[in-house]
Amino acid sequence: MRPSSIHCNIMVCNKTTILIWLLFADLIRIAFASIVSTGNFNEDFYIAWSPSHINTSPDGRSRSVKLDQESGSSFVSNNMFLFGEIDMQIKLIPGYSAGTVVAFYMTSDQPNRDEIDFEFLGNVTGQPYILQTNVFVDGFGNREERIYLWFDPTKDFHTYSILWNLYQIVFMVDWVPIRVYRNHGDEGVPFPRWQPMSVKASIWNGDSWATRGGRDKVDWSKGPFIASFRNYKIDACVWKGNPRFCMVGNKTNWWNNPSLRSLSWRQRRLFRWARKYYLVYDYCHDTKRFQEQLPMECSLPKY
């Protein structure tokens, strides 16, 4: 065999070895793409606004946020994520809470941000709590839906969840789907799929709009207003700078598997029940607001 042929084969072998190692590195990165959270607020979140208005239990397993005349407060996940499921148990402000907003959401924090929102709108004592959801894509929202909760969310903790994958965003309350925003990108409907998002929770004064369109204001004599969080779970793809690691479907990135392309038959039944009895506002029914030109997704299947 000629020396040049030997040299060529060595080069091929080296390239093959390098390719194998690159593929192996990709597999390692994919394998560690997701995270199951520690359950400790001190380890997974940082306080972004008003530390004096946030109280965390000694074991880090529960945390409360406070609103008073001085300030609101918020905390934010240390990591950013692209797809996954986020669960948070929340107990809302008891008694008179008009004008307050407690939020649990994901956001990319970019000028053209993507965002997935739970917003709990405070109420006058004795009135049902309203939960507002919204989806922002490339900086545009205007996709509000509102439901009455079918329980008193101030008496005990309930689980609020966001499932976000390549196919859909599902908002759930105690595992009941209350809203689905499907990926109809092939129909020209925008869907958040490129921007990683952090997980946030906050409490703030929204009395210009939150309760009866701003007619009921915050009564500071009823404060301070406190909401509590516990038993969260983040099972999501940690952003490492390359979206393709978060877009695969496997045992690690289970949320992207084909079985989660749509709601199950049981979820569909619960979804229809929640919307039949508790939906109070759907932007897709607001022809006046959109001057008879409803957004494109309103005419497309929800599941």
pLDDT at 196 exceeding the cut of 60: yes
The per-residue pLDDT for range 94-110, each reduced to its tens digit, is 999 999 999 999 999 88
State the average pLDDT over residues 176-185: 98
Q: Which residues are within 8 A (CB) of 13 and not within 5 positions of it... i.e. 6 or more apart?
A: none
Catalytic site residue from 119, 144, 292, 297 = 119
pLDDT tens, 246-276?
Answer: 999 888 999 999 999 999 999 999 999 999 9
Q: Where are the alpha helices (DSSP H) in the chain?
A: 3-31, 41-44, 244-247, 265-278
Show the domains of the chain with their CATH numbers: 41-298 (2.60.120.200)
Q: How much of the chain exceeds pLDDT 70, in percent?
A: 89
Tell me which H or E stretch contains 284: none
The pLDDT of residue 235: 96
pLDDT in tens, 221-244: 999 999 999 999 999 999 999 999
Region 266-288: mean pLDDT is 98
Residue 111's pLDDT band (cuts 50, 70, 90): confident
Q: Is the pTM of this model over 0.95?
A: no
**Residue 154, burial from CB neighbour count under 10 angstroms (0-12, 13-18, 19+):** middle
> If pLDDT is split at 50, 70 and 90, which confidence band does 5 have?
very low
Point out the catalytic residue in the list 85, 115, 145, 297: 115
- Report the SS3 class of residue 259: helix
pLDDT tens, residue by residue, 136-157? 999 999 999 999 999 999 999 9
* Mean local confidence (pLDDT), 201-220: 96
The answer to whether residues 152 and 168 touch, using CB atoms and an 8 Å cutoff, is: no
Give the pLDDT score at 14. 52
Question: How much is the pLDDT for 22?
Answer: 40
Q: Is the pLDDT of residue 294 over 70?
A: yes
What's the token pair of residue 36? 């199951």
The maximal CA–CA distance of the chain, rounded, in angstroms, is 93
With bands split at pLDDT 50, 70 and 90, how would you rate the model's confidence at 199?
Answer: very high
Q: What's the CA gap between 286 and 272, in Å, rounded?
A: 19
Q: Are 234 and 200 in contact (CB under 8 A)?
A: no
The pair of three-digit structure tokens given for residue 276, joined into one six-digit string: 């039949």
Query: Does the pLDDT of residue 288 top 90, yes or no?
Result: yes
Average pLDDT over residues 185-194: 96
Handedness of CA 289, 271, 138, 205 (dihedral sign): positive
Q: Report which of 87, 271, 264, 237 is spatially closest to residue 161, judged by C-alpha positions.
A: 87
Q: Is 115 a catalytic residue?
A: yes
